[in-house]
A and B are shown apart, each in its own frame.
Chain A
């Protein structure tokens, strides 16, 4: 350490530390300055001043001072600790850990530093280090509860559950018998539950049950107690006791599906796949009948049998379930039942059933064989259900008829418009869908859900700026963009990014995708505070769960979508790079001088305008951005609102690879990950990595059309490479030769033959046909006509089957992909327009194919009503006026 300060200054130094802890930064700076007046080179003071400045948003000065302080006093643990804290505040945990370690070298038993270090080790999952630090802390202060618990948790995280149990038991051994005092009962109970869950995790089931029983009086959370107990009993095969306990739990909450599942397990009547033998489903039926008598207010007990019953029994149960809900008016009824539609037989029964109800109400106002007259709204809810039913079955025409009938019946129900919007989306008319969603939104301007639904539809229809305005209606004081970003509104950012991508605006698209990526790293950061908080509060079970969730965070679907989107942007950017400024200059210089001048002037004006706007934005928050606490929140203006800078990356493939690595690490079982890996590595000429991608694709789904595409393309490329020259090239060739034989598809076959075999095997699928056709074109460019024919022949059988009443075979999305293939890859415009005509007939609502019922067609219903609305005439057919319709 440096020269010790005289008493007056030493007191001032204490004041700095205290001011820092109590956030009285100005006071701290003052004290620091008066020390520095006399001792301008005092290292620790310099460091503390820097740390204080860091909290006052003066980063650069902070680093400068802290580094200077350290330089003046390399032997001070305070200086090192401060340096670590500075790095920690900037989330540079690696550097922070290094600093803490240096500090500990000087003062190995400093508890504060050890504790800070342990937090970082938990955050970075340096588990071995975490255990070590926690052990040191316990040795130094064994009378502290927190240190026992922390040591146990560290062992648990480091996959040593047994050791963790031992530590907790040792800790209990230090306690008095009458522990805990009243104010710590909850914490102690949580610790016990945590210990028991550890025993369960380690397979010490008997011991766990005993321990649970012994400590019953000390466990406050009685529900958790029962759930833990029943879980152990089931694992031990003690089904009778389990059954009893599950019934107790059900009487507490008869709508918890997990309890029913557990009960079935105890009765040995549970199957993961839901496929029960007739005998089993009879038994289940009896069980649920008796449960239904007990829990007559439960809806789960009535809903679950629909999953295992079949035929007539299903019909009866479904009818009993559905009728009261139609009377009551439950808008979510269809989504409640939608899982049943995976079984066509059940969907058929539901169709018959609901049609009968509809007819009965229409003719008699009652359900069949019922004496009760139904409410007027029942018919509307029945039509509402039917519309969703037909939508699900792909019969968009009938679905629209039903929903229109419902709207005619009661034009004020918002859900009707939302569902109509969804049907139109499925039918392929995105702008009409957005318009309907907007109509729904207008019916209740205070409903955030319909507002968000509308925003989503607008984005699907590529109306991005309208969508943004609509989304901002529900943000605080409409503070643009940033609010949506601050709220981590990821569905919005993804949908918006995807829309920009479709429109070719890669900069804005990337901006949105990267924003989502940022949210995920923020979520990872957010766990930091919990390392100390949860140990203190003893919420150990949830804490460990949270850590495990964080470990899997990046396999979450929103992250995957964002990463996929970003990679696609970079691939596009690589395939069609932006013009550099030099090239642009070059082009400008070729223009005649008059035009050159005009262009320059235009540019200058645009620059000026942008600058002015930025300045205005910068000023705004200083006048209005004074928050409640009195602090000024100056939000920095986004210097790149359109993502133009994001496009100026040196090598898009390097950027893409960063995201690819995250996908490979966190989503290795998703096909798309390896498709992207293939695309990126083929462009980078990384042959072996591309081969690895192909192997993963084959592993995940050999028959997938994209797998086939990659496989053929890969070996086609390999076949056209020049003969190897260098040793490493020769090595790669050897690997390729050996690997080629492993692919069963290619065994003893030429690529052309393999493609043929693939085609024959998957003749009935449009997407497979398309893949085979595309590959035929790659392998034998002269056979373009034949390739086209492979695709066009697909419509021969399936198109005619699509008569009303049957489930459609062709999917709109796939047909659009095929159209793009014909037009943009095979360059066969005639075939593409033939395809378009056929699809327009098949998908009359599709705007893409310009179907005659879509909103792009002048005669469509959408255009008609739009005209009507514009003329201001109402469309009600009313006989009477001023009147009273009571």
Chain B
């Protein structure tokens, strides 16, 4: 199958309490961290900002975001996790998930989206840079119990479109 038709096999679906376990299974396979209930309730509360990605009807990846209120009442998006199961990488699933969230930000006039990433995770950093993210801060010893515990804060500022609907 050619690359194009593979992309056709990708679809996104919302997170609901009925399929929450899918995200849990993904996280258990992808990340060495056990996420607590707060993580999942934030993800559910973010509504369309959290999505599961399906490849030919199999759940293989997810982006989980949290909506944060800044001082002054504006909202920014924090990407808690973004991951795709190893066998299903490099077919554009991550791109599709991130693009979805970026487009949603633009639609809702959200000006800031950010995340944490390990300083040695070059693939990740390059991936986000492609989408216009930049390193805005370095936090030392952000992670505990993991080698290379430092991380960057990676942020994208989206210029709010002045057009009024």
Which of A's residues lie within 8 Å of B, judged by CB? Answer: 328-329, 372-373, 375-377, 379-380, 409-413, 442-446, 872-876, 878, 880-886
How many contacts A-B (CB < 8 Å)? 131
- Chain B residues closer than 8 Å to A873, beta-carbon distance: 34
Chain A residues whose C-beta falls within 8 Å of the C-beta of B92 in the assembled complex? 886
**Residue with the highest number of chain B CB atoms closer than 10 Å, among A376, A443, A875, A886:** A886
* A745–chain B nearest beta-carbon distance, Å: 59
Q: How far is the CA of A413 from the CA of B56 in the complex (A)?
A: 12
Nearest chain-B residue to A413 (Cβ)? B58
Residues of chain B lying within 8 A (CB to CB) of residue A884:
82-84, 94, 123-124, 127-128
Those 4 A-B pairs whose CB atoms lie nearest each other, nearest first:
A886-B94, A874-B28, A376-B87, A876-B29
Shortest C-beta distance, A480 to chain B (Å), equals 23
Nearest-Cβ distance from residue B127 to partner chain A, whole angstroms: 5
Q: Do the beta carbons of B34 and A412 come within 8 Å of each other? A: no
Closest to B92 in A: A886
C-alpha gap A685/B81 in the complex (Å)? 75
B18 within 8 A of A: yes
Contact call B21/A443, Cβ cutoff below 8 A: yes
A546 vs B90: C-alpha distance when bound (angstroms): 57
B43 at the interface (CB under 8 A from A): no
In the complex, B117 has a CB within 8 A of chain A:
yes
Beta-carbon contact of B34 and A882 below 8 Å: no
Q: What residues of chain A lie closer than 8 Å to B30, measured between beta carbons?
A: 876, 878, 883, 885
Q: Is the CB of A880 within 8 A of B118?
A: yes
The one of A411, A443, A880 in contact with B121, judged by C-beta atoms closer than 8 angstroms, is A880
Residues on B with C-beta less than 8 A from A375 are 1, 6, 9, 55-56
Contact A412 B25 (CB under 8 A): yes
CA distance in complex: A443, B22 (Å): 6
Pair A880/B59 contact, Cβ less than 8 Å = no
DSSP majority for the B interface? Answer: mixed
- Shortest B59–chain A CB gap in Å is 4
Could you tell me if B18 and A376 are in contact, using CB atoms closer than 8 angstroms? no
In the complex, which of the residues B19, B31, B58, B88 contacts A881, with contact meaning CB atoms closer than 8 Å?
A: B31
Quick one: closest A residue to B120, CB to CB? Answer: A880
B21 CB to closest chain A CB, in angstroms? 5
> Are the CB atoms of B89 and A886 closer together than 8 Å?
yes
Q: How far is the CB of A418 from chain B (nearest CB, A)?
A: 14
CA distance A884 to B26 in the complex (A): 12
Tell me if B104 counts as interface (CB < 8 A to partner A): no
Per-residue A-contact encoding for B71-113, CB less than 8 Å = 1, 0 else: 0000000000111111111111111000000000000000000
Chain B residues whose CB sits within 8 angstroms of the CB of A446 once the complex forms: 18-19
Distance (whole angstroms) from the CB of A669 to the closest CB of chain B = 45
The interface residues of chain B lying within 8 Å CB-to-CB of A328 are 56
Tell me, in angstroms, the Cα distance from A328 to B30 when the chains sit together: 25
- Cβ of A886 and Cβ of B29 under 8 Å apart? no
Please, could you name 15 A-B residue pairs with CB atoms under 8 Å apart, sorted by A? Answer: A377-B55, A380-B87, A411-B29, A412-B25, A413-B59, A445-B17, A446-B18, A880-B121, A881-B31, A881-B143, A882-B81, A884-B123, A884-B124, A886-B84, A886-B127
A379 with B127: CB separation less than 8 A: no
Question: Contacts A883-B118, A884-B127, A886-B127 hold; do A442 and B21 have CB atoms under 8 A apart?
Answer: yes
A881/B32 in contact, CB under 8 A: yes
Q: Indicate if B65 sits at the interface (CB-CB under 8 A).
A: no
Q: Roughly how many angstroms separate A197 CA and B81 CA in the complex, as a whole number?
A: 67
Q: How far is the CA of A329 from the CA of B143 in the complex (A)?
A: 39
Give the contacting residue for A886; candidates B6, B26, B93, B143; CB below 8 A.
B93
Whether A883 lies near B117 (C-beta < 8 A) is yes
When distances are taken between beta carbons in the complex, the residues of chain B under 8 Å from A410 are 58, 60, 85, 87-88
Those of B1-33 within 8 Å (CB) of chain A: 1, 6, 9, 17-19, 21-22, 25-33
Q: Is B44 an interface residue (CB 8 A)?
A: no
* B56 close to A872 (CB less than 8 A): no
A411 to B26, alpha carbons, bound, how many Å?
A: 7
Q: Are A880 and B26 in contact (CB under 8 A)?
A: no
B56 touches A444 (CB 8 A): no
Contact of B124 (CB < 8 Å), options: A373, A379, A409, A883:
A883
**Cross-chain contact B28 with A377 (CB below 8 angstroms):** no
Decide if A878 touches B82 in the complex (CB within 8 Å): no
B55 x A874 contact (CB < 8 A): no
For B93, what are the chain A residues with a Cβ–Cβ distance below 8 Å?
886
Known: A885-B30, A886-B127. 20 other contacts (CB 8 A): A372-B1, A375-B1, A412-B59, A443-B19, A445-B18, A874-B28, A874-B32, A874-B33, A874-B34, A876-B31, A878-B30, A878-B31, A882-B31, A883-B83, A883-B123, A884-B83, A884-B84, A884-B127, A885-B86, A886-B92
B56 and A875 contact, CB distance less than 8 A: no
Whether B25 and A444, one on each chain, are in contact in the complex, defined by CB atoms closer than 8 angstroms, is: no
Minimal beta-carbon separation of A883 from chain B (angstroms):
5
- Beta-carbon contacts of B115-153 to A below 8 Å, as 1s and 0s? 111100101100110000000000000010010000100
